[in-house]
Structure 1
Amino acid sequence: MDPTHMFELVIVMFLAIIALHYAARRFGLPPSVALLAGGALLTFLPGLPAIAIDPDLVLVIFLPPLLMDGAWFIALGRLRRHMIGIASLAVGAVFFTCAVVAVAVHFLFPSLPWAACAVLGAIVSPPDAISARAVLQRVKLPRRLQILLEGESLLNDASGLVLFRFAIAAGVTGAFSTAEAMGSFFLLALGGAAVGIAIGTVWVVFVRRLNDEYLIIAATALLAWMSYMLGEMIHVSGVIATVTTGLIAGWYQHTVFSASARMRGTSFWTVMIFLMEASVFMLIGSSLRGVVERGGGFGVVIATMGLPMLAVLVALTLARFAWVFGSNLVVEFCKVLGLKRYTPLGLRASVVLSWAGVRGVVTLALALSVPEGFPGRDFILVTSFAVIVGTVLVQGTTLGRLIEWAKLIEPESEKARLNLSQAEAAMAQAQLATIKDRAYDTEGNLIHPRLLERYQLRAKMIVDYIQKTEHHDVLLHAHFDVVLAAIATGRRELIRLHRAGDIDDETLHELERDLDLEELSALSAKS
Structure 2
Amino acid sequence: MQIVETIILIISLLIVANIISHYFVSIPASLIQIAAGIIAALAINVKIVVNTEWFLLVFIAPILFNDGNRFPKKELWKLKGPIMGNAIILVIVSTIVGGAVVKWLVPSLPWATAFTLVAVLSPTDPIAVQSIAKKAKLPDKLMHLISGESLINDASGLICFKYAVAATVTGVFSLRSATIDFFYIAIVGALVGAVMIWIFNGVRLYLINQGVDDSILHAIIQILIPFIIYYVAEDIFGVSGVVAVVIAGIMNISSSRTTGAFSPEIRLVTSRTWDMLVYLLNGFVFVLLGIEIPFAMAELIHNQSMNTFKAVGFAFVIWVMLVVIRFVWSYFYSTFFERSDRVSFNFFSRARFYYCLMSGISGVRGAVTMVGVLSLPFVTKTGAAFPARTLLLFIASTVIIFSLLGATILIPLITKNTAPITYRGNSINTDDIDIDDEAEDTEVVDTTTDLDADAANKIVIEKTINKLRDENLDNRDPVYTTVIAEYVFNLHNIQIHSDGPNPISKTRIKGKKDAELWDICFNCELEAIEDLFEKNEISQDAYDTAVKRIEKYKRGLVRHSYNQSVEFFISYFRRTVKELTKIIHIPFTKKEEVVAYNREAIQISIAGSKRALEKLRELENTDGDGVYDNLLYLFERHYEERLELLQGKRRNRSEQFNIERVNLEVNALSYQRAFVQDLLEQGRISRATANTLRKNINYSEEVINYDIQ
The residue number in structure 1 matching 2:89 is: 92
Q: 1:177 to 1:396 in 2, by over 3 A?
A: farther
Question: Quick one: which of 679, 692, 695 aligns to 1:510?
Answer: 692
Partners of 2:226 and 2:703 in 1: CA distance: 31
Decide whether the 8 Å contact of 2:61 with 2:242 is kept in 1: yes
Decide whether the 8 Å contact of 2:196 with 2:248 is kept in 1: yes
Decide whether the 8 Å contact of 1:52 with 1:287 is kept in 2: no
Decide whether the 8 Å contact of 1:68 with 1:224 is kept in 2: yes
Amino acid of the structure 1 residue aligned with 2:286: F
Question: Quick one: which of 284, 306, 310 aligns to 2:312?
Answer: 306
The CA deviation at 1:139 is 2.1
- Structure 2 unaligned segments of length 5 or more: list them: 380-384, 419-476, 493-612, 641-652
Larger deviation, residues 34-43 vs 430-439: 430-439
Q: Secondary structure at the match of 1:287?
A: helix
Deviations 1:95-142 (A, max 9, x none): 111112212122223343322222222222222xxx422432442344
Question: Quick one: which of 259, 273, 279 aligns to 1:274?
Answer: 279
Question: Quick one: which of 624, 636, 647 aligns to 1:445?
Answer: 624
Amino acid of the structure 1 residue aligned with 2:39: L
Partners of 1:68 and 1:526 in 2: CA distance: 21
Amino acid of the structure 1 residue aligned with 2:230: Y
Deviations 1:217-276 (A, max 9, x none): 322221111111111112211111001111111359725423332222223222222332
Partners of 1:293 and 1:524 in 2: CA distance: 46
Q: Where do residues 119-138 of structure 1 align in structure 2 (5 Å cutoff)? A: 119-127=116-124, 131-138=125-132
Partners of 1:399 and 1:164 in 2: CA distance: 29
The residue number in structure 2 matching 1:225 is: 227
Q: 1:82 to 1:97 in 2, by over 3 A?
A: same
The residue number in structure 2 matching 1:235 is: 238
The residue number in structure 2 matching 1:216 is: 218
Decide whether the 8 Å contact of 1:32 with 1:281 is kept in 2: yes
Say whether 1:101 aligns with 2:98.
Answer: yes
Decide whether the 8 Å contact of 2:62 with 2:227 is kept in 1: yes
Question: Quick one: which of 258, 262, 268 aligns to 1:263?
Answer: 268
Partners of 2:308 and 2:93 in 1: CA distance: 28
**Higher percent of residues as helix:** 1
The CA deviation at 1:193 is 0.5
The CA deviation at 1:430 is 5.2
The CA deviation at 1:320 is 1.3
The residue number in structure 1 matching 2:289 is: 284
The residue number in structure 2 matching 1:350 is: 356
Partners of 1:508 and 1:426 in 2: CA distance: 28
| Greater Rg over alpha carbons, structure | 2
Partners of 2:404 and 2:708 in 1: CA distance: 35
Say whether 1:199 aligns with 2:199.
Answer: no
Q: Where do residues 147-166 of structure 1 align in structure 2 (5 Å cutoff)? A: 147-166=144-163
Give the CA RMSD over aligned residues: 4.6
The residue number in structure 1 matching 2:482 is: 427
Q: Where do residues 408-487 of structure 1 align in structure 2 (5 Å cutoff)? A: 424=479, 427-428=482-483, 444-445=623-624
Deviations 1:256-300 (A, max 9, x none): 423332222223222222332333332322322232233237997
Decide whether the 8 Å contact of 2:14 with 2:287 is kept in 1: no
Decide whether the 8 Å contact of 1:56 with 1:365 is kept in 2: no
Decide whether the 8 Å contact of 1:189 with 1:240 is kept in 2: yes
Partners of 1:336 and 1:298 in 2: CA distance: 56
Decide whether the 8 Å contact of 1:52 with 1:290 is kept in 2: no
Decide whether the 8 Å contact of 1:40 with 1:286 is kept in 2: yes
Decide whether the 8 Å contact of 1:439 with 1:446 is kept in 2: no
Decide whether the 8 Å contact of 2:59 with 2:371 is kept in 1: no
Q: 1:522 to 1:330 in 2, by over 3 A?
A: closer
Q: 1:35 to 1:49 in 2, by over 3 A?
A: closer
Q: Secondary structure at the match of 2:44?
A: coil
Q: 1:232 to 1:509 in 2, by over 3 A?
A: same
Q: Secondary structure at the match of 1:213?
A: coil
The residue number in structure 1 matching 2:321 is: 315
Say whether 1:69 aligns with 2:66.
Answer: yes
The residue number in structure 2 matching 1:391 is: 403
Partners of 1:217 and 1:71 in 2: CA distance: 17
The CA deviation at 1:441 is 8.3
Deviations 1:354-383 (A, max 9, x none): 111111233233333144423333332221
Q: Where do residues 6-17 of structure 1 align in structure 2 (5 Å cutoff)? A: 6-17=6-17
The CA deviation at 1:333 is 6.7
Amino acid of the structure 1 residue aligned with 2:268: M
Decide whether the 8 Å contact of 1:59 with 1:362 is kept in 2: no
The residue number in structure 2 matching 1:411 is: none
Q: 1:378 to 1:177 in 2, by over 3 A?
A: same
The residue number in structure 2 matching 1:382 is: 394
Larger deviation, residues 290-299 vs 267-276: 290-299
Amino acid of the structure 2 residue aligned with 1:19: I
Larger deviation, residues 198-207 vs 281-290: 281-290
Say whether 1:81 aligns with 2:78.
Answer: yes
The residue number in structure 1 matching 2:365 is: 359
- Normalising to structure 1: TM-score of the pair? 0.76
Q: 1:294 to 1:443 in 2, by over 3 A?
A: same
Q: Give the total of aligned pairs.
A: 478
Deviations 1:15-60 (A, max 9, x none): 3254134334xx343333333333333333x335223333443321
Partners of 1:107 and 1:134 in 2: CA distance: 30
Partners of 1:58 and 1:96 in 2: CA distance: 27
Q: Secondary structure at the match of 2:100?
A: helix
Partners of 1:68 and 1:439 in 2: CA distance: 50
Q: Secondary structure at the match of 2:187?
A: helix
The residue number in structure 2 matching 1:462 is: none
Decide whether the 8 Å contact of 1:213 with 1:261 is kept in 2: yes
Percent of aligned pairs sharing the same letter: 24
The CA deviation at 1:90 is 1.0
Q: 1:206 to 1:397 in 2, by over 3 A?
A: farther
Partners of 1:439 and 1:397 in 2: CA distance: 65
Larger deviation, residues 163-172 vs 330-339: 330-339
Q: Secondary structure at the match of 1:346?
A: helix
Q: 1:10 to 1:433 in 2, by over 3 A?
A: closer
Partners of 1:181 and 1:222 in 2: CA distance: 31
Amino acid of the structure 1 residue aligned with 2:164: A
Q: Secondary structure at the match of 1:336?
A: coil
Amino acid of the structure 2 residue aligned with 1:261: I
Larger deviation, residues 112-121 vs 230-239: 112-121
Decide whether the 8 Å contact of 1:199 with 1:227 is kept in 2: yes
Q: Where do residues 398-413 of structure 1 align in structure 2 (5 Å cutoff)? A: 398-404=410-416
The CA deviation at 1:216 is 2.7
